[in-house]
């Protein structure tokens, strides 16, 4: 169990870096490979697939709002997050029931960790990509902190609820007997 948790966390971080540095051309195959391996070896149930899908949709909304509000500034005039940025949300979703599962029962800590790591992730991502953040930087990072104080525990709770609903649903095999 510990090896799988460690693997999940390491793969997330390496994939995050590859997507940010490589852009959408690299992100597409990386996220497809990571999600496929994740679904094959970790969890291929409907709840895990739904979690990834919902978190990606949430990411499109959150990053779209950040871009439209001018907090996150793309190199072009696009109002939608690029594929590489959306891919990070799919990668993040693969950790919620695995390497970050502990946070599902510690939501206050998840809020604090989410706020700090979320804001720092955008800061690091913009330093490594062609995106930039609106000045004054402390205000923008403060907004990211606040948003991620809500986003991370919400995603953790969603992961827990979907996982529990899948575990409590009787399989078709047990109904046959």
The answer to whether position 110 is within a domain reads yes
31 lies in some domain: yes
Which among 139, 145, 138 has a CA at the least distance from the CA of 119?
145
User: Is there a domain that residue 173 lies in?
Assistant: no
Give the residue-averaged pLDDT of 65-69.
98
Under the banding of pLDDT at 50, 70 and 90, the label for residue 168 is confident
Position 164 in a domain: yes
Residue 147 forms part of a structural domain: yes
What is the structure's pLDDT at 121? Answer: 98
**Structural domains in the chain (count):** 1
What are the backbone angles phi and psi of residue 59, rounded to the nearest 5°? -60, -40
Residue 53, in any domain of the structure? yes
On whether the CB atoms of residues 86 and 44 are closer than 8 A, the answer is no
| pLDDT confidence band for 176 (50 / 70 / 90) | very low
Average confidence (pLDDT) over 20-33:
98
The rounded distance, in Å, linking the Cα atoms of 128 and 146 is 23
Q: Kindly state whether residue 156 falls inside one of the protein's structural domains.
A: yes
What is the residue range of 44's domain? 2-168
Give me the pLDDT at residue 28, please.
97
**Residue at 35 is within a domain:** yes
pLDDT reading at 173 higher than 90: no
């Amino acid at each position: 169990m510990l090896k799988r948790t460690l693997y999940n966390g390491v793969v997330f971080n390496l994939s995050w870096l590859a997507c940010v540095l490589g852009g959408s051309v690299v992100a597409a195959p990386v996220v497809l490979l990571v999600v496929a391996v994740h679904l094959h070896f970790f969890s291929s149930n409907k709840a895990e697939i739904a979690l990834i899908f919902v978190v990606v949709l949430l990411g499109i909304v959150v990053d779209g709002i950040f871009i439209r509000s001018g907090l996150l500034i793309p190199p072009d005039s696009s109002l939608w997050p690029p594929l590489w940025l959306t891919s990070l949300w799919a990668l993040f979703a693969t950790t919620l029931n695995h390497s970050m599962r502990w946070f599902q029962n510690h939501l206050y800590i998840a809020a604090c960790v989410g706020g700090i790591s979320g804001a720092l992730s955008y800061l690091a991502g913009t330093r490594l990509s062609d995106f930039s953040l609106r000045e004054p930087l402390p205000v923008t990072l403060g907004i990211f902190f606040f948003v991620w104080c809500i986003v991370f525990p919400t995603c953790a709770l969603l992961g827990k609820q979907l996982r529990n609903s899948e575990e409590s649903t009787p399989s078709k095999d047990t109904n046959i007997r």
